[in-house]
Amino acid sequence: MIPNGYLIFEDESFLDSTVAKMNALRKSGQFCDVRLQVCGHELMAHRAVLACCSPYLFEIFNSDAEPHGVAHVKFEDLDPQAVEVLLNYAYTAQLKADKELVKEVYSAAKRLKMERVKQICGDYLLSKMDAQSAISYRHFASGMGDARLLGKVDGFIQEHLLEVSEQEDFLKLPRLKLEVMLEDNLMLPSNGKLYSKVISWVQRSLWENGEPLERLMEEVQTLYYSADHKLLDRAVLDGQAEVFGAEEDHIQFVQKKAPRESVSRQLSTSSSGTLSPGSTKQPCKHEWKYIASEKTSNNTYLCLAVLDGTLCVIFLHGRNSPQSSPSATPCLLKSLSWEGPLESSEEERPLAPMHYARSGLGTASLDGRLIAAGGYNREECLRTVECYDLKKDCWTFVAPMRTPRARFQMAVLMGQLYVMGGSNGHSDELSCGETYNPTTDEWTQVPELRTNRCNAGVCSLSNKLYVVGGSDPCGQKGLKNCDAFDPVTKVWNSCAPLNIRRHQAAVCELDGFMYAIGGAESWNCLNSVERYNPDNNTWTLIAPMNVARRGAGVTVYEGKLYVVGGFDGTRALRCVEVYDPARNEWRMLGSMTSARSNAGVALLGTLICAVGGFDGNDFLNTMELYDLDTDEWTSCLSSA
């Protein structure tokens, strides 16, 4: 069209054609006047194109004393593949990155001040976030200084704190444990007010008294909540106070340090983020932030907070002041799910609970008794081992393991208990293992695994100990690895790998075969099952379960496999199913009274026992029994 004598023509294909040609020129190195040196890799590009999409590079090029020469820009802390993704975006307006590379692309976009790309990457990460990844995403967002992303992650954690608290990353966070003495008839305030007081107390300890945060976490801190609603060191109450600590998982009393000076002076946190001890202002060098909290039982709270720039878990338990209850027993290390003596009747009485709530524990039946070892309970991974006598309905302690561990399985081989791998809650997955001799009541080390791993299946087969699958050292995907340990030669040997990557699979032996049941491939729960034949060293897929699940328990009775509870990716499960190898089929049984994921399951006589685990809200110390004759679960014993 030629309005008013002017020629106007719009070529819709011109831009696409030009962009494609410019990108081809870049890749062939033609007319390039910029060399990006990224960790030893050299990437060619055109100054004008990069200056248009990266304010950071625009500033560099604009200040170049010789603009007509070839510019060299060096980056030693960016991923070359991520920078290549950004170059492709600059020339094509298309952002394409593998999911494993998105964080690196985000980091590179931040450095180059490409805000639109940074936002797109952040939104993608948020869309993939779940309870398993929330803590690592928060570390990333905090490290990037992205307030928008950080706010979204914290909002997710607030809504899913209990589920997040079951994950491996959460268990590895530093922990601050507080016991708060309460006067009679005094209650702790609501969560928000309570933790603002806790954070102020930590600030006071660090800024006014020079107390390093690490030292505050070395032992349980005993505080006093006064009638005028102030949270103070217990030293204010009685000069020198006793504080409850834990050594080898047994409660002890230790002498607290001399009372700190001026603890009653109040510090305030201003809106500008500075601390004001008296009239002297000091800058708050790091972030202080309350993120989320839950009341887990009566006067017991769980909180996630940032203290002096460190992401921490705070456990707080309020109890009566020793003045009104001098012989009171510390409750901090007791179960968060059992709040007191259970009511009983003449006909039935509740099964005795374990001393510790445990999830991700190892269980086995040994000499007619149930052994429950290790596990975690939100506060820490445990070393303690408890032994249940069904006839006496009581739990007693045996020798603790040498290493705290959770997310492992236990097996009996030649009359001894074996545990391998797992996690101690502080470092990467474990490679160490140990064995328990019931005659001497001692644990001894066994040769280490060749691969650090947790969430692996363990069972005995043909007088050997097998370790099946598990999590890789990064905890992001399942393993196919299977290893066999000979207790005579003390040597590990590899055997055939699984057909499917699995961690948190239930593993057991039946009629000379080993079964790997369910689990997860990454965090997608599986219903598939495979069977190992040691004669020809092969794994074969068999009939799948009715319900996909990870973290289930398994036991064998009268030639059949019983799979109990677990997690289906959304919720902890109550459902139970049984496998008949003669028919190669699964069928559903009566459900448990409580949902349980990562619980312990074992056979005592003719009864299947499920103990501990996580029900979606609480870590459990309770137990229930399955009667095959009635197809019912019960948490009580008949007194008859």
Write the pLDDT tens digit of every residue in 490-520.
Answer: 999 999 999 999 999 999 999 999 999 999 9
At 412-438, the pLDDT tens digits run: 999 999 999 999 877 667 899 999 999
424 in the same domain as 488:
yes
At 311-370, the pLDDT tens digits run: 999 988 887 665 433 323 233 233 333 233 334 334 678 999 999 999 999 999 999 999
3-state SS assignment for residue 203: helix
579 in the same domain as 447:
yes
Contacts of 506 (CB under 8 A, 6+ apart): 457, 515, 516, 517, 518, 519, 552, 553, 554, 563, 566
547 in the same domain as 495:
yes
361 in the same domain as 305:
no
- Residue 137 inside a domain? The answer is no
Residue burial 104-134, b: 16+ Cβ < 10 Å; e: rest: bbbbbbbbbebeebbebbbebbbeebebbbb
Q: What is the pLDDT of residue 639?
A: 58
- Residue 517 belongs to domain with CATH number: 2.120.10.80
Instruction: Report the mean per-residue pLDDT for the chain.
Output: 82
DSSP-assigned beta bridge partners for residue 561: 556, 579
Lowest mean per-residue pLDDT among 152-166, 176-190, 247-261, 582-596: 247-261
Q: Mean of the pLDDT values across residues 135-144?
A: 93
- Residue 150 inside a domain? The answer is no
- Residue 164 inside a domain? The answer is no
Contacts of 291 (CB under 8 A, 6+ apart): 154, 157, 158, 303, 304, 305, 306
- Residue 140 inside a domain? The answer is no
Lowest mean per-residue pLDDT among 54-58, 232-236, 356-360, 548-552: 232-236
pTM of this structure: 0.64
**Total tally of structural domains belonging to the chain:** 3
Of 128, 155, 186, which one is at a domain's C-terminal end? Answer: 128
Taking 70 as the threshold, does the pLDDT of residue 75 lie above it? yes
φ and ψ at residue 458, rounded to 5 degrees: -135, 135
- Residue 148 inside a domain? The answer is no
- Residue 100 belongs to domain with CATH number: 3.30.710.10
What's the Cα-to-Cα distance from 100 to each of 96, 107, 141, 170, 615, rounded to whole Å?
A: 12, 13, 16, 21, 32
Q: What distance in Å separates the CA atoms of residue 604 and residue 391, rounded to the nearest whole number?
A: 11
Of 128, 148, 182, which one is at a domain's C-terminal end? Answer: 128
374 in the same domain as 242:
no
414 in the same domain as 266:
no
Q: What distance in Å separates the CA atoms of residue 313 and residue 198, rounded to the nearest whole number?
A: 12
- Residue 501 inside a domain? The answer is yes
> Which contacts of 45-51 are long-range, i.e. CB under 8 A and separated by 24 or more positions?
45/87, 45/90, 46/22, 47/71, 49/22, 49/90, 49/91, 50/87, 50/90
Tokens of 294: 């839950």
568 in the same domain as 434:
yes
Q: What distance in Å separates the CA atoms of residue 117 and residue 40, rounded to the nearest whole number?
A: 24
224 within 8 A of 233, measured Cβ to Cβ: yes
570 in the same domain as 469:
yes
- Virtual torsion, Cα 141, 147, 150, 154, nearest 10 deg: 160
Taking 60 as the threshold, does the pLDDT of residue 279 lie above it? no
313 in the same domain as 218:
yes
Q: What is the pLDDT of residue 611?
A: 98
299 in the same domain as 360:
no
3-state SS assignment for residue 15: helix
Amino acid, single-letter form, for residue 222: T
- Residue 124 inside a domain? The answer is yes
Region of residue 615 (left: phi > 0; alpha: psi -120 to 50; beta: else): alpha
- Residue 617 inside a domain? The answer is yes
Q: Mean of the pLDDT values across residues 606-628?
A: 93
Q: What is the pLDDT of residue 27?
A: 77
Q: What is the DSSP string of 330-347?
A: P-TTS-SS--SPPP--SS
Tokens 């790091």 label which residue?
Answer: 286
363 in the same domain as 316:
no
Contacts of 630 (CB under 8 A, 6+ apart): none
State which residues form the domain around 48: 14-128
49 in the same domain as 122:
yes
Q: What distance in Å separates the CA atoms of residue 269 and residue 277, rounded to the nearest whole number?
A: 9
